[in-house]
Structure 1
Amino acid sequence: MTPPHDPDAGQAPPGRRRPRSRRRRATLAAGLLAVLLLLADAAVLSDRVGEVDVALTADDSDGRTWLLVGLDSREHLPAGADPADFGTPETVPGTRADVVLVVHQTDAGTSVLSVPRDLLVVSGRSPDRLALSWLDGPSATVGALCRLGIPTDHLVTVDLAGFAAVVDAAGGLDVDVPEPVRDRPAGLLLERAGRQHVDGATALALVRSRHPEHRVDGAWVPAPVDPDGRATAAGTVLSALVAQVQRSSLLPWRLQSMAWAASGALTVDPGTSVADLLALARADIGAVDVLPAAEPVAGTLPRLPTSDTTAAVAAAGMHCDA
Structure 2
Amino acid sequence: MAERTRDRTLRSLPTARVRHGRQRRAAWWSTALKVVGATMAVVLVSGASVAAIALNNLTSNIDVAQLTDADGNVREIPQVGEWEGGFNVLIVGVDNAEGQTVGESRDTTLNDVNMLVHVAEDQQSAVAVSIPRDLVIRHPGCPQEDGSISSPLSAQPLNVAYGQGGLNCVVLTVEALTGLDIPYAAQISFDGVAMMSTAVGGVDVCITEPIRDRDADLYLETAGTHTVEGYQALAFLRTRYGVGDGSDLSRISSQQVYLSSLMRKVQNEGVLADPTAVYGIATVATQAMKLSPSLSSVDTMVSMALALRNIPTENITFVQYPATTGLGGVYTNKAAPLEDLADQLFQRIANDESFVLAADATGNGSTLDPNAPVAPPTETPVETPAATDPAAPVDPAAPVDPSAAPTESAAPEAPVLDGVLGQTADQYTCSVAN
Partner residue of 2:281 out of 258, 261, 284: 258
Sort the Cα spacing of 1:135 and 1:193 in 2 relative to 1 into closer, same or farther, 3 A.
same
Return the letter of the residue paired with 2:279: Q
Return the letter of the residue paired with 2:173: A
Q: Any idea what the Cα deviations from partners look like across 1:283-313, whole Å, max 9, x if unmatched?
A: 6352311111132432422423421112112
Deviation of 1:227 after TM superposition, in Å, equals 4.1
Deviation of 1:318 after TM superposition, in Å, equals 6.2
Return the letter of the residue paired with 2:340: S
Q: How does 1:1-322 map to 2 (within 5 A)?
A: 35-37=45-47, 39-40=51-52, 41-55=54-68, 63-73=86-96, 75-78=98-101, 86-88=103-105, 92-106=106-120, 107=122, 108-123=124-139, 124=141, 125-127=152-154, 128-137=156-165, 138-148=167-177, 149-212=179-242, 224-246=245-267, 247-272=270-295, 273-278=297-302, 279-280=304-305, 282=309, 284=311, 286-298=316-328, 299-317=332-350
Sort the Cα spacing of 1:87 and 1:294 in 2 relative to 1 into closer, same or farther, 3 A.
closer
Sort the Cα spacing of 1:265 and 1:245 in 2 relative to 1 into closer, same or farther, 3 A.
farther
Q: Any idea what the Cα deviations from partners look like across 1:254-285, whole Å, max 9, x if unmatched?
A: 11111111111111001112343343473635
- What SS does the corresponding residue of 2:89 show, helix, strand or coil? strand
Deviation of 1:93 after TM superposition, in Å, equals 2.1
Return the letter of the residue paired with 2:136: L
- What SS does the corresponding residue of 2:171 show, helix, strand or coil? helix
Deviation of 1:232 after TM superposition, in Å, equals 1.9
**Partner Cα separation in structure 2 for residue 198 and residue 274 of structure 1:** 30
**Partner Cα separation in structure 2 for residue 190 and residue 54 of structure 1:** 40
**Partner Cα separation in structure 2 for residue 53 and residue 258 of structure 1:** 24
Sort the Cα spacing of 1:143 and 1:318 in 2 relative to 1 into closer, same or farther, 3 A.
farther
CA contact (8 A) 1:294 1:306 kept: no
TM, length-normalised to structure 2: 0.57
**Partner Cα separation in structure 2 for residue 47 and residue 251 of structure 1:** 23
Deviation of 1:59 after TM superposition, in Å, equals 6.5
**Partner Cα separation in structure 1 for residue 43 and residue 240 of structure 2:** 42
Deviation of 1:70 after TM superposition, in Å, equals 0.5
**Partner Cα separation in structure 1 for residue 115 and residue 242 of structure 2:** 22
Give the match for residue 18 of structure 1. Answer: none
Q: Any idea what the Cα deviations from partners look like across 1:176-215, whole Å, max 9, x if unmatched?
A: 22221121111111111222210121221122122216xx
TM, length-normalised to structure 1: 0.75
Deviation of 1:130 after TM superposition, in Å, equals 0.8
**Partner Cα separation in structure 2 for residue 267 and residue 292 of structure 1:** 28
Fraction of identical pairs, as percent: 25
Return the letter of the residue paired with 1:242: M
Q: Which range is displaced more, 279-288 or 305-314?
A: 279-288
- What SS does the corresponding residue of 1:93 show, helix, strand or coil? coil
Q: Any idea what the Cα deviations from partners look like across 1:13-70, whole Å, max 9, x if unmatched?
A: xxxxxxxxxxxxxxxxxx9787325743223211111111222689789620010010
CA contact (8 A) 2:180 2:350 kept: no
**Partner Cα separation in structure 2 for residue 119 and residue 126 of structure 1:** 13
**Partner Cα separation in structure 1 for residue 190 and residue 248 of structure 2:** 22
Higher helix share: 1
Q: Any idea what the Cα deviations from partners look like across 1:223-270, whole Å, max 9, x if unmatched?
A: 534441222233333333333333311111111111111111111001
**What RMSD over aligned residues (CA atoms) do the two structures have, in Å?**
2.8
**Partner Cα separation in structure 1 for residue 46 and residue 287 of structure 2:** 20
**Partner Cα separation in structure 2 for residue 120 and residue 58 of structure 1:** 31
**Partner Cα separation in structure 2 for residue 140 and residue 34 of structure 1:** 33
Sort the Cα spacing of 1:212 and 1:66 in 2 relative to 1 into closer, same or farther, 3 A.
same
Sort the Cα spacing of 1:156 and 1:252 in 2 relative to 1 into closer, same or farther, 3 A.
same
**Partner Cα separation in structure 1 for residue 271 and residue 337 of structure 2:** 40
**Partner Cα separation in structure 2 for residue 171 and residue 121 of structure 1:** 38
| Number of equivalenced pairs | 271
**Partner Cα separation in structure 2 for residue 87 and residue 212 of structure 1:** 19
**Partner Cα separation in structure 1 for residue 310 and residue 99 of structure 2:** 29
